[in-house]
Amino acid sequence: MSKLVIVGTVAFDAIETPFGKTDKILGGAATFIGLASSQFNVDAAVVSVVGGDFPQEHLDLLSDRNIDISGIEIVKEGKTFFWSGKYHNDMNSRDTLATELNVLADFNPIVPENYKNAEIVMLGNLHPNVQLSVLEQMTKKPQLVILDTMNFWMDCALTELHNVMKKVDVITINDAEARQLTGEYSLVVAARKIHTMGPKYVVIKKGEHGALLFHDDNVFFAPALPLEEVFDPTGAGDTFAGGFAGYLAKTDDVSFENMKNAVIYGSTLASFCVEKFGTERMVNLSSEDVYKRLQQFKSLTQFDIELA
Amino acid sequence: MSKLVIVGTVAFDAIETPFGKTDKILGGAATFIGLASSQFNVDAAVVSVVGGDFPQEHLDLLSDRNIDISGIEIVKEGKTFFWSGKYHNDMNSRDTLATELNVLADFNPIVPENYKNAEIVMLGNLHPNVQLSVLEQMTKKPQLVILDTMNFWMDCALTELHNVMKKVDVITINDAEARQLTGEYSLVVAARKIHTMGPKYVVIKKGEHGALLFHDDNVFFAPALPLEEVFDPTGAGDTFAGGFAGYLAKTDDVSFENMKNAVIYGSTLASFCVEKFGTERMVNLSSEDVYKRLQQFKSLTQFDIELA
């Protein structure tokens, strides 16, 4: 089993969807990544920052799942990062209603001493310089560095993003972002261009249309599970990344063949995430639930054409 | 092996895409369906109508592939159905520039005597009453009837469409059409509603995002092969349907499990169709090409998570 370091936001979200709205609830990329990876009982630590307003019970929720939270700095006099958004009817697009950086504005990530030799590093969506700072603290070259990012950093910190991209093995990005980053419409061509920017493995997330994993000339595809309804997409991409990273950490195998399985696990966990608001479904998820859904994924995609 | 009857247009298309444009070239639903099904060397007949302007070489192209064309009526004094369209840059949407029904306006399909007992009937996109007329000519209840249709008939012949839907086993339809037909955004819910309208099997085509096969509570998904570029999407849906029907006819097995394979074959053949204008790629397609691409489909989708 590999050690896993996760850096990302631990935050408050307020979400509005066609199905309802929430007050401030637990959110943040590292929260979703951590919860997803905890399904694999890996040795993981979250590096983040929260304010004095952040409830102890939310921190307990992570540590109860054996996630090391010693790298979550608590700025007593500060306020926790807050994001608010409203999803449109198609659930694929959303408007950001509020972004209050608060303690995130001066976030200086500190990797706990005993995780500086972690084999897998998961850089959740954050300013590229913060992601880079985490990599620079590692005392041993990690076996695998996974980067998640978003269009926001392409708009306002592209040079910094390119710098961190040169140092990572895997990037996870959505289809619109892959197109923005490369100026290419074809995702096959876009992935090839992204390879030349650094990452040997490119995961392109297409939301309800699944996810593609590219490596050299190889491609693997995992559909999203067809669901009756998507209740709240918030955190689905982070949950995917957490499942991907957690599975690789557990199996201690970063081959392309094993990454295919990791993509399936990521998709499986993301399919739960969207069933309830925020983290609600992820904190009430049994290994039996996961097992059953993996079976659904298998019957959804596996066929029986004999080829020599 | 089952006999296959195909009804649909045999036509001229003029196509414009971001990659170029064509003069009047061979097109039509039954043409693409026939060419795709001919990959399986099945005993197939096309029922259609053309005008006196239709070149003998196009008819030869079908009969050279052992497709029975005795059901293609030639109206000497009439003109062949003509469609012209222009694709937008994303290749997912198009404008119809011209639709000249010509001989199709009075099309009265005649199923050849020795195909009236065919086990599989493929109703290509046409007025629902024409599709129904073919079914009424069958002297033996077919083992499987497959219906393809489009939004145009939902707009102007919805009652007739519902009539023919009651008599078919499989419907193939795209995602926007499934939503239009049912008023449901979720494709899972839409498929369930379509089941109640008649078809026990519902295939929802999502273009570059693949295809879903629904049957009761079972779902199967085939991705589209990620391509560097889509040159011309015309006929891809018909080619999918032809591959689906042809594979089922060849294997003489209409179980859900075998339909999964049929969906994979349909997707495989459609991935060739879009590589060139019109039928160009489909008439120059070797069984080796198909075999290699099936291997690509397998490595694209198959994974190795052990589940009891």
Check CB contact under 8 Å for B301 and A299.
Answer: no
Q: pTM of the entire structure?
A: 0.93
Quote the pLDDT of residue A76.
97
pLDDT confidence tier of residue B92, bands split at 50, 70 and 90: confident
> What percentage of residues in chain A have a pLDDT greater than 90?
93
Mutation target vs B (from A93, A303, A304, A307; most B CBs, 10 A cutoff): A303
pLDDT, average across residues B41-46: 97
| Chain A residues close to B304, C-beta within 8 Å | 257, 260-261
Check CB contact under 8 Å for B226 and A187.
Answer: yes
Residue B43 has pLDDT above 70, yes or no: yes
pLDDT confidence tier of residue B90, bands split at 50, 70 and 90: confident
CB-nearest to B228 from A189, A220, A261 is: A189
Q: What is the DSSP letter of B78?
A: S
Residue B26 has pLDDT above 90, yes or no: yes
Distance between A210 CA and the closest CA of chain B, angstroms: 8
Quote the pLDDT of residue B33.
98
Quote the pLDDT of residue A91.
77
ipTM: 0.89
pLDDT, average across residues A119-145: 98
> What percentage of residues in chain A have a pLDDT greater than 70?
100
Residue B308 has pLDDT above 80, yes or no: no
pLDDT confidence tier of residue A151, bands split at 50, 70 and 90: very high
Taking only the tens place, the pLDDT of each residue in B150-205 is 999 999 999 999 999 999 999 999 999 999 999 999 999 999 999 999 999 999 99
Check CB contact under 8 Å for A219 and B226.
Answer: yes
User: Closest-CA residue in chain B for A89?
Assistant: B185
Taking only the tens place, the pLDDT of each residue in B230-284 is 899 999 999 999 999 999 999 999 999 999 999 999 999 999 999 999 999 999 9
d(CA A125, CA A10): 11
pLDDT confidence tier of residue A54, bands split at 50, 70 and 90: very high
pLDDT confidence tier of residue A308, bands split at 50, 70 and 90: low
> What percentage of residues in chain B have a pLDDT greater than 90?
93
- According to DSSP, the β-strands at A82-87 and A25-27 are unpaired
| Chain B residues close to A261, C-beta within 8 Å | 303-305
| Chain A residues close to B189, C-beta within 8 Å | 228-229
Q: Which chain B residues touch A if contact means CB-CB below 8 Å? A: 89-90, 185-189, 206, 209-210, 212, 218-223, 226-229, 257, 260-261, 263-265, 291, 294-295, 298-305, 307
pLDDT, average across residues A94-102: 94
> Which residue type does A71 have?
G
Q: What is the mean pLDDT of chain A?
A: 96
Taking only the tens place, the pLDDT of each residue in B223-234 is 999 988 889 999
Greater pLDDT, B91 or A34: A34
| Chain A residues close to B217, C-beta within 8 Å | none
Residue B46 has pLDDT above 80, yes or no: yes
Residue B25 has pLDDT above 90, yes or no: yes
pLDDT, average across residues A233-245: 97
Check CB contact under 8 Å for A226 and B187.
Answer: yes
Residues of A serving a catalytic function are: 238
Mutation target vs A (from B221, B227, B288, B291; most A CBs, 10 A cutoff): B221
Q: What is the mean pLDDT of chain B?
A: 96
Q: What are phi and psi of A169, to 5 degrees?
A: -95, -40
Mutation target vs A (from B301, B302, B304, B306; most A CBs, 10 A cutoff): B301
User: Closest-CA residue in chain B for A186?
Assistant: B228
Chain A, chain B: beta-carbon pairs less than 8 Å apart: 97
Quote the pLDDT of residue A89.
79
Distance between B189 CA and the closest CA of chain A, angstroms: 6
Check CB contact under 8 Å for B305 and A299.
Answer: no
pLDDT, average across residues B43-50: 98
Check CB contact under 8 Å for B226 and A212.
Answer: yes
Residue B305 has pLDDT above 90, yes or no: no
pLDDT confidence tier of residue B89, bands split at 50, 70 and 90: confident
C-alpha dihedral sign at B266, B268, B269, B270: positive
CB-nearest to A301 from B185, B221, B227 is: B221
User: Closest-CA residue in chain B for A228?
Assistant: B188
Distance between B127 CA and the closest CA of chain A, angstroms: 31
> Which residue type does A69 have?
I
User: Closest-CA residue in chain B for A251?
Assistant: B305
User: Closest-CA residue in chain B for A256?
Assistant: B303
Taking only the tens place, the pLDDT of each residue in B68-87 is 999 999 999 999 999 999 99
Write out chain A in H/E/C secondary structure.
CCEEEEECCCEEEEEEECCEECCCEEECHHHHHHHHHHHHCCEEEEEEEEECCCCHHHHHHHHCCCEECCCEEEECCCCCCEEEEEECCCCCCEEEEEEECHHHHHCCCCCCHHHCCCCEEEECCCCHHHHHHHHHHCCCCCCEEEEECCHHHHHHCHHHHHHHHCCCCEEEEEHHHHHHHHCCCCHHHHHHHHHHCCCCEEEEECHHHCEEEEECCEEEEECCCCCCCCCCCCCHHHHHHHHHHHHHHHHCCCCHHHHHHHHHHHHHHHHHHCCCCCCCCHHHCCHHHHHHHHHHHHHHHCCCCCCC
pLDDT confidence tier of residue A229, bands split at 50, 70 and 90: confident
Residue A307 has pLDDT above 90, yes or no: no
